[in-house]
Structure 1
Amino acid sequence: MPPPRRPVARHSRGPLHRPGPSSASTAALLRQGAKEAERDHEGLVVTVEERTGRPAAELAGAVDDIGRTQLLVLGSRGLGSLAGFVLGSVGLSVLHDVRRPVVYVRSAEPAGAGDAVAAGPGAAGDVVLGLDLERPAPPALEFAFREAALGHSALRVVHAWHMPVGFGQAEIMDPGLVQEIGDGTERELLTVLAPWTERFPSVKTTAEAVMGSPAVQLVYASAGASLLVVGLLLRGHPPGGRVGPVTGAVLHHVSAPVAVVPHG
């Protein structure tokens, strides 16, 4: 028996910004899309709705109206294989206003379009979670494990680290120091993951502590993945505020769908 499907709010590219009645062509396009989705995904029930007003406000209102919505999905046209979601004012506002996981999906590019990203270290179809050990976010951890379980996918948890301040060029003088710090970071990562691997025993989980920029390492790790999951700390950020550098980088440069899970 297939796993139960979660209710999802989806963003149509219909003319939400235009006042007045909806055009017949837009309504027909929505109905056609709903029929195609139900045809391609057995058991899926799709409803469509058109609204007028500011897109971010209407999306937030639609999610609140539905009540049971667990996930909001936004689409975007790509700008080549290195350009992911174009994060404009709507994307920023939705991130801070909805306070539910938001998945950004860019349109597929033709084979060979743009600059290709080298395949990452994992298997195609993995779920990848970017985890900050200083602030491990339980909502992001739970989301990633649940998505991997629902999709029968492996989960790769990636934490990027730097040499501590003050070590200077110690890694050049003593390469063994890098290995020692890396091993300690990996043990810490495994400790954080232990309760989750026990809770989700069916999910094959690997932990990767890699030295370097978090944004760069996540872009590389997510190549070929089915989903990249990152957390978004809301505390201290006003509605419509900026996203962090890592979230902003992966949204612009990752070709896989990106799930941003708010917490705090």
Structure 2
Amino acid sequence: MRAYEDWVIEAEARGVKISQVVCQNQMEELEQSEQALFQRMSKNLRVMRESVEAGLSGERRSLSGLVGGDAAKVEARWKKGESLTGGLMSSAIARALAVAEVNACMGKIVAAPTAGSCGVLPAVLLTVEKALEVVEHDLVLALFTAAGLGMIIAERASVSGAESGCQAEIGSAAAMAAAAAVELAGGSPSQTADAAAIAMKSMLGLVCDPVAGLVEVPCVKRNATGASIALVAAEMALSGVKSAIPIDEVIDTMGLIGKQMPCALKETAQGGLAVTPTGRRIQADFL
């Protein structure tokens, strides 16, 4: 079973980024050239950009009427200089909502690692891109860092809400985004691991309780909070704050918690917010 810490050791021994280790690993495993892998990842980045733009237009509404337009509201507020959290955080929140809204409206997104958590990674990456004036090549490389961590999470635990709750979806996405953000900001491979661990630890035990069984409430807004947690974790790691528990142990713990979590709290819409009076009313109205 692969371990992220092994990649950290290899990257630091070679004096390269985690993304370069992941890319080399995938070249060997998939028997594809670096150019071919970059082309595929560049396409993913392009779709991410398009989904952010589509969501920020404020024009889309989900079939249920529960989702749509919130990303545009957040963007309008921070562009007016009224943001409580500052432009960087507010723009990340808006972008995360945007992509998640596009998903809920049946638009095209990149599942990163899942459709339900699709807003976290693009929100963080594209926000850091603007803040630090990151070049396209480095942004694509950072996607390899995120993808590599996602593969390890899927192998050691799960990225499925139906199997391990929302901690496996939003929690994994936040960890992936935190690691990628650290790399973009010039952090070390070990700092990407610390950021990922801090982010995932902050979401352990998060249940999957979609109201009316739809990937809308509370899923869309959790993308925004996941993006925020990723940026907070990245900032701590870049400052030299370390995770007391290594990332691979955090991942294993998330998987164990998922096994201990009752089925009612794993995407069945039989527990949590889905069975509140309002949740039941929404389900009855929709059905």
TM-score tier, shorter chain, comes to under 0.3
Which structure is larger by alpha-carbon Rg, 1 or 2?
Answer: 1
Bigger relative contact order, structure 1 or 2 (CA pairs below 8 A, ≥6 apart) = 1
TM-score (structure 2 length as normaliser):
0.24
Structure with greater proportional strand content: 1
